[in-house]
Structure 1
Amino acid sequence: MLDPYERSAEYLDLMIAETWQSLGPALAEALQQVKAGPGPVVDVGAGTGRGVRAICAALPGGDPVLAVEPSSAMRAVLLARVHDDPQLRGRVTVLAEDAAHAPLPDALRAIVAVNVLGHLPPAERRALWRSAARALAPGGALIVGVAPPFTPQRVPRTRMASVTVGALHYEGWATAEPSGQDEITWHMDYRVLRDGLPLSEVTVDYRWWVASESQLAEEAAEAGLAMRPAGNPDLGLHLLTRHGE
């Protein structure tokens, strides 16, 4: 299967750094709302590991963390980040799987799936709800990120990130077009400039499945999970727990 991040992974950690300045504390706050006691935590679609680092900082007790990431290019950054931090190296296991096929341990304290749901076709998304309902310990929670667009619609070209490293400037641009009944195609452009002049540009397209918050809540309910917002609504984090917990 073609890896959409093979050509863009070198830029992505730079592009998301500013977002994680607010998302990291929000994820930490959401984890503090989880009622389950100590136990394993799974980060599904761990990417370059910024979420893994936030999880470990929020839960300093040493809970083992399983970082699931299917992209070898993203995993290279993830594994380097884990190895270089003694606080992560002893507790984080990196697994080369995707959300649909990753074996989840039993009695999980939490499952984190931030910036992941759009990668999952509806059937795989429903499978994630069912897997979480089986694998979570009593009081455990699945923490997901829900972001617009919620319906197939055009997203105008927007600069998503702008970062300077040394003498070079890096920009990330995004636009999207409807490409199916419940999906869009993102067109991502990553530009490298020096003194305002372009040095290189990489363009990557990838599919993204969309769903409204109410639709996601209905799907989760079918698996026995109740969904509720967590923290700042602008960040789109939600907690899913078994009904009655």
Structure 2
Amino acid sequence: MQRDDYAVSAEFYDVLQAQQDAIRVHHLYGRHVANARLGVLDVGAGTGRVTLMSLLESRVGVHAVEPARAMRTPLMTRLASLPTELRERVTVHPQTLEEAELRDVADVAVCHNTIGCLAPAARRALWPALAQALVPGGSLLLQLPPTHLPDKETERVFPDQRVGQHEYGGRMVMSADGSRLRTRCDYWVRGAEGVLREHTETFWMWPASRAAMISDLAQHGFALLPGRDDPAVLAMALTWDSPARTQ
């Protein structure tokens, strides 16, 4: 992930996807976040859906890690509008988790809509940083990347959303490109006179199986957390013998 990623998508993300995503993150992570006793770590916070949910569901400090300036800007705007008692519980880190060098700050970590966007080398660098940021016994909830490349091009159209006199729309087109998954996002804004603006932004994703994720995390002291069978989310717990905690 680069610092200038999402320069186009940041304008459209909340309008087209945030309401549905807010419902999803509450369903996927709300129960664990509500049980946090030390802190919540949101890795790849984006515009802040997991961060905001964590502030509302818990009573602990929240660390939001977001290196992309374009996504961090709406995140900060959203946090600035919160009541003081909520805003004082959240710290925004404008770099990667490895660069932030957080240690023992949380007993719950969430990686939502993040892991699939990391190249293999960046993914491997994240695991020890997560083990260092969590306390032993802490939970890691990780939305899994795609398990394989698509056989053919697929398209997802976002429902149009009206903002004043303008209608915002978009679509996501996914296709295989070598070992990567190419994701092209097309956006448009329409008015009474027709299309006013059109934009396109392309992202890359790297597939990985659930078994591969479990194996990689096990090398850094994580073990499967019982009682979580959601196929979209991998739930792990940090053990006492994590190599990252002896450094």
Alignment of 1:50-199 (within 5 A): 50-59=49-58, 61=59, 63-86=60-83, 87-147=85-145, 149-153=146-150, 154-181=152-179, 183-195=180-192, 197-199=194-196
Show the counterpart of 1:43: 42
Q: Give the partner amino acid of 1:123.
A: A
Q: Give the partner amino acid of 2:102.
A: L
Show the counterpart of 2:10: 9
Q: Give the partner amino acid of 2:170.
A: G
Deviations 1:210-237 (A, max 9, x none): 1111211111112221235876836x22
Q: Would you say the 8 A contact 1:226–1:243 is kept in 2? A: yes
- The 1-side partners of 2:9 and 2:165 are apart by 20
Query: Structure 1 regions of 5+ residues with no counterpart?
Result: none
Q: Would you say the 8 A contact 1:230–1:237 is kept in 2? A: no
Show the counterpart of 2:219: 222
1:242 to 226, 238, 244: 238
Q: Would you say the 8 A contact 1:189–1:202 is kept in 2? A: yes
1:75 to partner: Cα distance? 1.0
- The 1-side partners of 2:8 and 2:71 are apart by 10
Query: Structure 2 regions of 5+ residues with no counterpart?
Result: 242-247
Q: Would you say the 8 A contact 1:229–1:238 is kept in 2? A: no
Q: Would you say the 8 A contact 1:69–1:97 is kept in 2? A: yes
Q: What is the number of residues matched between the two proteins?
A: 237
Q: Would you say the 8 A contact 2:97–2:130 is kept in 1? A: no
- The 1-side partners of 2:209 and 2:199 are apart by 31
Classify the secondary structure of the residue corresponding to 1:41: strand
Deviations 1:148-174 (A, max 9, x none): x32122441220343222222211201
Show the counterpart of 2:32: 30
Q: Give the partner amino acid of 2:182.
A: T
1:140 to partner: Cα distance? 0.7
- The 2-side partners of 1:41 and 1:224 are apart by 19
Classify the secondary structure of the residue corresponding to 2:116: helix
Q: Would you say the 8 A contact 2:21–2:49 is kept in 1? A: no
1:39 to partner: Cα distance? 1.4
| TM-score normalised by structure 1 residue count | 0.86
Classify the secondary structure of the residue corresponding to 1:233: coil
Deviations 1:73-130 (A, max 9, x none): 1111101111110143111111110244232232521221100001211222122222
- The 1-side partners of 2:149 and 2:226 are apart by 23
Q: Would you say the 8 A contact 1:108–1:137 is kept in 2? A: yes
Kindly, what percent of the aligned residue pairs are identical?
31
Q: Would you say the 8 A contact 1:45–1:67 is kept in 2? A: yes
Q: Give the partner amino acid of 1:72.
A: R
- C-alpha RMSD over aligned residues: 2.5
1:188 to partner: Cα distance? 0.5
| TM-score normalised by structure 2 residue count | 0.85
Classify the secondary structure of the residue corresponding to 1:101: helix
